[in-house]
Amino acid sequence: MDIVVCVKRVPFTQEVDLEIDRSKRFVATESLAHVINDWDSYAVEEAILLKEKLGGEVTAVTVGSEDDEEVLRRALAMGADRAVRIESGGMPMDGTVVAGILASVIRNIPCDLVLTGVQADDDNQAVVGVTLAELLGLSHAAVVRGIEVSGADIVARIELEGGVDEIRRLRLPALLTIQTGINEPRYVSVMGIRKASKKELKVIDVKELGLSQNDLVPPTEIEEIYLPADTGGAEMLKGDPSVVAEAVIDIMRRKGVAL
């Protein structure tokens, strides 16, 4: 089974105090480390597991600058066979534009399955995978946390709300967006990444894809992002349980809760 997996390099924002950049359209990333998007890491691992079980090849694809090759090297170190970077030239992009760029490249890569992460850590839009499926004309499923291949079909376990799962059968070729927890991404050593640095990495300029100017203009625009306003802290209630219970009921009434 030949698989294409889409990956993205994102700023590592956990356990840091975020600041808004001067444009007020994104967080300041100059002092932040960058890592592979968490959801994409699970997608790469799932692609490698399928290759190990069924044979075939895995191609990792990303859209970005030379710095973004870091995540492709990681995918190669995990077991991907080839990697492709699409040079974006630093132009502004939203999920729709990224999906269009990816589609124009993936159309020329023979594959049975396309995997993406459910969403990206930086924008949380969760639109690239499903938009890509529509542009490629592929059957697809989102938020997948289990995969079984059955002949010319793939059986996907899909996470729904409220702890409910859905089992869906799709005819290959197909596209799946992968949920975290579907597997345990393998450890990648420094030596493994060094060996991966010697593997071929193809670079395609977005200008070579024959996309029109309209294809590269984001249909959505972020006007402003801002940190949530500071609010009062939690109110700690102390005393006899009956007194605390009365206080809780009083607070709920003042907040408009029907009792």
Angle at 144 between CA 84 and CA 13, to 5 degrees: 65
Pick the closest to residue 11 from 70, 52, 93 (CA basis): 70
User: What are the phi and psi torsion angles at 201 (to 5°)?
Assistant: -130, 115
pTM summary value: 0.85
Tell me the pLDDT tens digit for each residue of 163-185: 899 999 999 999 999 999 999 99
Rounded Cα gap, residues 87 and 66, in angstroms: 8
The tokens describing 194, both together, are 């060094």
Position of tokens 């002092």? 31
Report the CATH architecture of 3-216: 3-Layer(aba) Sandwich (3.40)
Rounded Cα gap, residues 117 and 10, in angstroms: 13
Tell me the pLDDT tens digit for each residue of 110-143: 999 999 999 999 888 899 999 999 999 999 999 9
Let me know: does 95 contact 125? Beta carbons within 8 Å: yes
